[in-house]
Amino acid sequence: MISFKNVTKRFDNFTAVDNLTINFNKGETIVLIGPSGCGKTTTLRMINRLIEPTEGTIYINGTDISKLDVVELRRNIGYVIQQIALFPHMTIAQNIGLVPYLKNWPEKKRKERVEELLEFVGMPPSEFYHRYPNELSGGQQQRIGVARALAADPEIILMDEPFGAVDPITRATLQEELLQMQDKLGKTIIFVTHDMDEALKLADKIAIMKDGKVLQYDSPEQLLTNPAHGFVEEFIGKDRLIRQPEFINVKDIMIKNPVTILPERTLTQALEKMRRQKVDSLMVVDKTDKFIGLITANDVLQNFDNAEKVAEIYKTDVHYVSEDANVSQVLAIMAEKQVGYVPVISDDQKLSGLITRSSLVNVLGQRLTK
Amino acid sequence: MTLLSYFLNNPDTIFRLILEHLQLTGSAILTAIIIGVPLGIAITRHKRLADIMLAITSVFQTIPSIAFFGLLIPFLGIGKRTAILVLFLYALLPIVKNTYTGIKEVSPFMIDAGRGMGMTNMQILRMVELPQSLSVIMAGVRIATVINIGTTTIAAYIGAGGLGELIFTGIQMYRNEMILAGAIPAAILAILADQVLGYVEYKLTPKGLRKTK
């Protein structure tokens, strides 16, 4: 779908992107990640020609994009940035309908499209159509930012740290929504972030970049189990152990005191607890500490109006492992069931710990630096 | 009492001078808008040019008005033409400067988003930069107008007409009621212009940018 052939970008004496050759497949979410100055944003911005390469060629569906009309090219690529940058003087509808307007869609078609997209991002048109951006929360604004990028139904969407400016709970919700959106729409998304958890959560493929080069370009599971030597290992959080994951016991690396909640608690209390503990999910346990389920920030927010207690909405069909399981089994569950959390349960059904994708990475990283 | 009777006995003269005053100020401001706004926009695209232009226009502003008239009389003679030129040059700085500042203050991320969505430079100017800086530009017009109504009274000294005529003649003839008949309407004009343009400024601020009252 998108391919870079020997692309180099130099700014004065600084080489931002160095002889990059890479292919991004249609319908995949590709995350570009790396420390600042690694060239990830430059790479992204060359796709819609906000930055022109110094050398090399970029192709979209086989066409050299430098041969295309630049304005037309950009109108056919969605663009979302961290600063959101909704136009404050335009209504929500005008913001979303901007690219269709630039493309001269008839007014009726534009209006229908805007309403459809507002529904799609869960913001009823009757309530939001005529509002202005400054009346919305940060999370709502970025939902509109995403809707605006989708407006003319582009095949490719570029997202430059889109969730970098919102609080952790909203971020988790927006990430969840992006995954759901991707299930329905199957866009080709190029996503820049410096947050490894976000990358692992969203990506079909991750490209780890440093000094303008891609060091490894692989699926999240491959990166976790077979990282390239040196920087990639370090960047993910080194893991000599994960290379033989069957030898690591979950008991040794699980989070010992996962944040829990009783089913009798209200949703407001659940949210407050997540906020305080900076997590996006809670383990539901009964008074004897027996594990009975799991609740995520997304569950809470989606059911906030129609439920009161945690008991009404928590998930019970959670995949868990026993204390003597090994990391290999956890990875298998994560990959197979597409889950980010795996609770660890003792023989008497009590919650003894929790493993998340990020805890895997963090703990393994710590072990090596010791 | 003499003031009131002066007003009652000379309504035509006062009315004519008010119109003349407005005409002088109005034509200077209008020209300054027509030239100053595009100039202000143009210099946002060119840093060095901006420094030079803003320096020149602020020099105009620092010359005392009476001296400025004096400087131009040898070349242009006395009368309306010279007066309007000076008034125009005075109005230029606030308008150019506010246009420049207003557009410069638009967040670069807005422009990046606009460009990334496929707006042309003209569309970015028309749909992003101008709407967001309109109220700042209007504030410049408002300052220029209020200052100009004041300076226009001095223009009577070089035979341009306007309410200053009554003031200067009154001073020469030691007639206080005549001075006031020029000064009071001039002051009211300035206050009114400030109020009206303040309202226009508010109206031109896009709804999404208005501060809630």
Per residue in A272-298, pLDDT tens? 888 888 888 899 998 888 898 989 888
SS3 B96: helix
As a whole number of angstroms, the distance between CA B44 and CA B50 comes to 7
Grouped pLDDT means (10 residues each) for chain B, 213 residues: 82 91 95 96 91 89 88 88 92 93 94 95 94 93 94 90 92 91 93 94 84 52
Check CB contact under 8 Å for A74 and B118.
yes
Interface test with A, best of B111, B117, B124, B129 (most A CBs within 10 A): B117
Taking alpha carbons only, the member of A305, A334, A338, A335 closest to residue A321 is A334
Domains of chain A (ranges, CATH numbers): 2-244 (3.40.50.300), 251-369 (3.10.580.10)
As a whole number of angstroms, the distance between CA B213 and CA B43 comes to 34
pLDDT band at A364 (very low <50, low <70, confident <90, very high): low
Are A100 and A109 in contact, with CB atoms under 8 Å apart? yes
Residue B175 dihedral angles phi and psi, to the nearest 5°: -115, 100
Tell whether ipTM is more than 0.85. Answer: no
As a whole number of angstroms, the distance between CA B30 and CA B13 comes to 25
pLDDT band at A346 (very low <50, low <70, confident <90, very high): confident
Per residue in A322-338, pLDDT tens? 888 887 788 888 888 87
Are A165 and A82 in contact, with CB atoms under 8 Å apart? yes
Which residues of chain B are within 8 Å of residue A79 when distances are taken between CB atoms? Answer: 113, 116-117
Nearest to B207 among A74, A99, A132 (CB): A132
How far, CA to CA in Å, does A220 sit from each of A232, A302, A329, B84?
12, 28, 16, 72
Which residues of chain B are within 8 Å of residue A144 when distances are taken between CB atoms? Answer: none
Pick the residue from chain B with its C-alpha nearest to A150.
B117
Averaged pLDDT for residues A21-30? 94
Pick the residue from chain B with its C-alpha nearest to A145.
B113
pLDDT band at A246 (very low <50, low <70, confident <90, very high): low
pLDDT band at A365 (very low <50, low <70, confident <90, very high): low
Are A136 and A95 in contact, with CB atoms under 8 Å apart? no
> Shortest Cα distance from A74 to chain B (angstroms)?
5
As a whole number of angstroms, the distance between CA B3 and CA A191 comes to 76
pLDDT of residue A155: 93
Per-residue pLDDT for A248 more than 80?
A: no
pLDDT of residue B51: 92
pTM of the model as a whole: 0.74
Per residue in A48-103, pLDDT tens? 999 999 999 999 999 999 999 999 999 999 999 988 889 999 999 999 999 999 99
